[in-house]
Amino acid sequence: MKYIPANKLQAWRISNEPKGCPILGESYKDFCVDHDHKTGMIRGVICREANTLIGKIENIYYSMCKGKREDIGNVMIAISNYLMHSKTDFLHPVGCKQLMSRFKRLKKGDQEFALVQLGFSMNEINACTNLSQRVVLYSKFLKKEFYGRKRNKTKHKS
């Protein structure tokens, strides 16, 4: 085990800085030295955003979930598998509101483009004279897409 004093940490970070963040995969400019908050040991150099993300996950896991340090890697793998593979064909009420809010925030031209992509005719879109009418069209799509089709009887796919 070696110790890196604070006055040498910046030089160590620069000499170990990757081309892109090993967590987020992008080429960020703001890198920092990541360390394990339980052991104090340096894990590597990652972007500040990834460092914040990992820190929040670890803090919640250790404090709220009462998790053990040796289990966090497996928990992260389980989270990854869950996020990549678990889905149903049911739209959550909050998810519906989020989709509607995102649509409302789009510029008029982007809303019209989205409606075309969703299968609405230009006549239907041009008949909309304001935001509220375009939102009604988008709402029709959501209702048709999520309320109008037959449901798969399985409750959860993993």
Share of the chain above pLDDT 70, in %: 93
pLDDT at 147 over 50: yes
Instruction: Write the DSSP symbol of residue 87.
Output: B
Contact 22, 31 (CB under 8 A): no
CA distances from 105 to 8, 35, 86, 124, 145 (A): 47, 39, 29, 20, 21
Domain extent for 52:
6-85
pLDDT at 89: 80
**153 within a domain of the structure (yes/no):** no
Domain boundary among 85, 109, 124: 85
Start-to-end C-alpha separation, the chain: 42
pLDDT at 101: 94
Domain boundary among 64, 85, 106: 85
Q: What is the pLDDT of residues 8-67, one digit of tens each?
A: 999 999 999 998 999 998 777 899 999 988 889 999 999 999 999 999 999 899 899 988
β-bridge partners, 42: 35
pTM (predicted TM-score): 0.66
pLDDT at 125 over 90: yes
150 pLDDT band (50/70/90 cuts)? low
Q: What is the pLDDT of residues 61-104, one digit of tens each?
A: 989 998 888 898 999 999 999 999 988 888 888 988 999 999 99
Same domain, 68 and 104: no
Instruction: Write the DSSP symbol of residue 20.
Output: S
Same domain, 45 and 79: yes
What the block records as the tokens of 73 is: 């890697």
Q: What is the pLDDT of residues 110-121, one digit of tens each?
A: 999 999 999 999
How open is the CA angle 66-72-77, to the nearest 5 degrees?
130
Contacting residues for 44 by C-beta, under 8 A, at least 6 apart: 16, 22, 33, 34
Same domain, 31 and 69: yes
pLDDT at 149 over 60: no
Share of the chain above pLDDT 90, in %: 65
Q: What counts of helices (H) and strands (E) characterise the chain?
A: 7, 2
What's the total number of domains in the chain? 2
SS3 23: coil
